[in-house]
Structures are given as C-alpha cells and as structure tokens.
Amino acid sequence: MRRRINLGRDPWFGIALVVPLLLWVAATLIYPLLEALRLSFQNVQYLGTAGKYVGLSNYRTILLSKDFQRSAGLTIWWTLLNTAGKILLALVCAFVLNQDYRGKTFVRNWIILPWVFPSIVLATMGKWLLDPTLGLINYILVSLGLIEKGISFLGNTTYALYVVTALNVWRWFPFFTVIFLAALQTIPKQMYEAAQIDGASRVKRLWYIDLPHLLPVIKVSTLIASLWSVNIFDLIWLLTRGGPASSTATLPIYIYIKGFQEFRISQAATAAIVLFVVLAIYGVIYYKRALDIELEG
C-alpha cells in the first residue's frame, strides 16, 4: 500500500524546493560578495594570483582618490537623471495609454519594444543615429538650420552623459509604463463616475484619484529604477567606454577599468564593496521611509 504524503505539511518537501534557489543565490551572489570582500583587504593585482593582507589600505586609497570621488558624484547625477526620466515619462505614457481611443491596443502592445532590445542593438542604433557625418539626428538638425555642421554627441564632454541618459531612459521607461498602466487599470470605474457627477475636472481626478492609487507603485518603482540605474554598465561601455575624458565613467565603469585595464583587482573589489554598502544603506533607508509615510497616511 502506497504511503500518501501531505505535500502541504511536509517540511522536507518545502526545503527540497527551496534548496536549489539557495544554492543558486549562494553561487551567484553570496560567494562573489565574500570573495570581493576578501580581495579588498589584500593587494592582488591579477585574478588568480596571491596577495598580501593590507588591512584598510585599499579603502583609504579608494575613498581619497579624486577619480573615485568624481565617478561617485557622476554616478549620483546619472542616477537622478535616469530615475526621474524613467518615472516621469512612464507616468505620462501610462496616463495616455489608459484613455479610450482608436488603436490603443496596438500602442499598448508595441510600447514595450524598446525594453526588449538587447544593449548591443540599442548601442549600435544609437551610434548610427548620432554619427556626426552620416547620422539621422545631425542630418535633421542641419536641415532645419539649428546647427551648421554635425556634432559628435558621444565624443563631446558636454553632451555625452545626457545622450547616453536619453538612450537609457528610452530603453527602460516602457517597463515602468506597463507597471503604472496595470495599477491604473485596478482603480474602480465607479470612482471616476462619482467624480464626474460631482463636476471634478480631469486635473482633479488625476490629482485626487489616479496619483493616490499610484503612489505605492511609484515608490517601489523609484527604488527599482534608481538601483538599476546605478548598476548600468553595458550601455555606457558600448557607447562611450566611459569617455570622453571620463565624462561618462560612472562607478561600474570605474570598477571595470580599475580591475581589468589597470590590473588593480583589489582596488576594484574595494570600490565594488563600497558601492554595495552604499546601495544597501540607501535601499533600507528608502524602504523604511516609504513604509513610514505609507503607515502615517
């Protein structure tokens, strides 16, 4: 006679389901973090070579480095621009897509397209569009008489960061648009009907109905958008490699250059640990603050 197992109450069955995930997390997150922490207390230059214990020397060197300080400041500015751009553009698009008009289903289905693009495709397309001699953007600007000759947007220290930011925002805003649109769809229609009967304008309905319902989603999305923005490496590297003159060298770029071009693995690991600690503190404070506001409300 077969033994019947109550899967809902068998603790070992639950553990068996969780173990593969824990092993994956340990292999991809915990081990690299511990290894980076170990390297940060040594003076290793190349991966696989032995190093000597140097205590907090790497931390002192990194934190006092002008290159690190410049990259840290640039990372903060980059994160603010990207987060604000993604959230604001996504909100506008979500409100537009939430209206009734002909072709809205087509637009809703295709709005996600930029987010699906691989980074290499987006970078190649961006370089072509922004090429100073053959690019479509410069051709349009010259044709309209706004500029006399093509501008190397990615090769100019004034424009490079903002151009890369625009491309990154264009890639990621559809993801948050879908999230905001889904949240808007959960608002009961009766609330809009009642507000319309009371004579509330569209602006008041937006302010007193839409935004209060979206606020929790906006808080979480802002945290996600900011954390993702800080860690962007591939698009920046493919477009500018941190240039020109380190004008787009955010901390991920700085860490890569320090470790794999200057061959200072320990200093790169130290910078990565500093970045991890700052992001962890920021995430905890932001979440706690957002939760406190929610509870007060």
Residue 184, number of CB atoms within 10 A of its CB: 18
**Least confident span in 109-123, 139-153, 252-266:** 109-123
Tell me how far apart the alpha carbons of residues 214 and 217 are, in angstroms, rounded to a whole number.
5
Please give the angle made by the CA atoms of 229, 72 and 27, to the nearest 5 degrees. 60
Q: Greater confidence, 202 or 130? A: 130
Q: Greater confidence, 6 or 40? A: 40
What is the model's pTM? Answer: 0.86
Q: What pLDDT is stored for residue 294 in this prediction?
A: 54
pLDDT(192) > 80: no
Q: What is the DSSP string of 14-67?
A: HHHHHHHHHHHHIIIIIHHHHHHHHHHTB---STTS---B-TTHHHHHHHH-HH
Percent of the chain at pLDDT above 70?
94
Please give the angle made by the CA atoms of 124, 125 and 128, to the nearest 5 degrees. 85
Distances (CA, A) of 231 to 188, 209, 239: 37, 34, 16
pLDDT(85) > 70: yes
Q: What pLDDT is stored for residue 238 in this prediction?
A: 94
Q: Could you tell me which residues come within 8 angstroms of residue 75 by beta carbon, excluding any fewer than 6 positions away?
A: 230, 250, 251
The reply to whether CATH 3.30.470.20 applies to domain 54-296 is no
pLDDT band at 1 (very low <50, low <70, confident <90, very high): very low
**Least confident span in 35-39, 103-107, 135-139:** 103-107
Sign of CA dihedral 228, 231, 234, 235: positive
Q: In whole numbers, what is the pLDDT of the chain averaged over residues? A: 87
pLDDT band at 4 (very low <50, low <70, confident <90, very high): low
Q: What is the DSSP string of 169-197?
A: HHHHHHHHHHHHHHHHHTS-HHHHHHHHH
Average pLDDT over every residue of 226-251: 93
**Least confident span in 53-57, 104-108, 152-156:** 104-108
Q: Greater confidence, 289 or 53? A: 53
Average pLDDT over every residue of 243-259: 94
Which residue ranges make up each domain of the chain?
54-296
Percentage helix, strand, coil for the chain under 3-state DSSP, each rounded to 5: 70, 0, 25
Q: Which two tokens stand for residue 180?
A: 């905001």
Q: Greater confidence, 113 or 65? A: 65
Tell me how far apart the alpha carbons of residues 30 and 260 are, in angstroms, rounded to a whole number.
22
